[in-house]
Amino acid sequence: MLDFQQKRKVRAFLYHPVTLVTLFIIVVFFLHSTWVVYEKKRESEQNKNISLANVNLLRAHDVELSSRIDRLKTDSGIEEEIRSKFTVAKNNENMVIVVEEKETSASSTSQTGGFWRKLSDFFF
């Protein structure tokens, strides 16, 4: 009989509205904390993916720069780079610079203007 009365007291305590509200508040607090941690995890995964993409770009850039450095270690590579940056020539070497002539814009517009354009040019 004593056992039955103890169970009844425990049940009365557990199912009391104050106890239930307190437990509900604790559960809501834990759920909120879990959600915050989950959001931080998602954000850190996105940052990790962005960082990995940047690392891959930097590695590709490193390979490109290494190949350019290796090319500049040779005499022909140095000569090629100097010729591309500056207008220079070796001793006993002549340079010719070709400049293209630009067409006048008046001749091109009169040809494409059509019959009425030619007629107005004739009178004015």
Query: What was the pLDDT predicted at 30?
Result: 97
Give exposure, 70-107, as e/b (b: 16+ Cβ within 10 Å).
eeeeeeeeeeeeeeeeeeeeeeeeeeeeeeeeeeeeee
Q: 31-56: per-residue pLDDT in tens?
A: 999 999 999 999 999 999 999 999 99
Look up the domain containing 75 and give its range.
Answer: 2-100
Domain assignment of residue 118, yes or no: no
Domain assignment of residue 90, yes or no: yes
Query: What was the pLDDT predicted at 91?
Result: 80
Cβ proximity of 81 and 72 under 8 Å: yes
In the structure, what pLDDT confidence band is assigned to residue 123 with cuts at 50, 70 and 90? confident
Residue 62 has pLDDT above 90, yes or no: yes
Domain assignment of residue 52, yes or no: yes
Task: Give the count of domains, the chain.
Answer: 1
The angle subtended at Cα 77 by Cα 73 and Cα 81, nearest 5°, is 120
DSSP state of 101: P
Query: What was the pLDDT predicted at 48?
Result: 98
In this structure, the chain runs to a length of 124
Domain assignment of residue 122, yes or no: no
The angle subtended at Cα 116 by Cα 113 and Cα 120, nearest 5°, is 95
Cβ proximity of 110 and 121 under 8 Å: yes
Domain assignment of residue 43, yes or no: yes
Q: 74-120: per-residue pLDDT in tens?
A: 999 998 888 888 877 778 877 777 888 887 655 555 456 678 888 88
Domain assignment of residue 49, yes or no: yes
Domain assignment of residue 123, yes or no: no
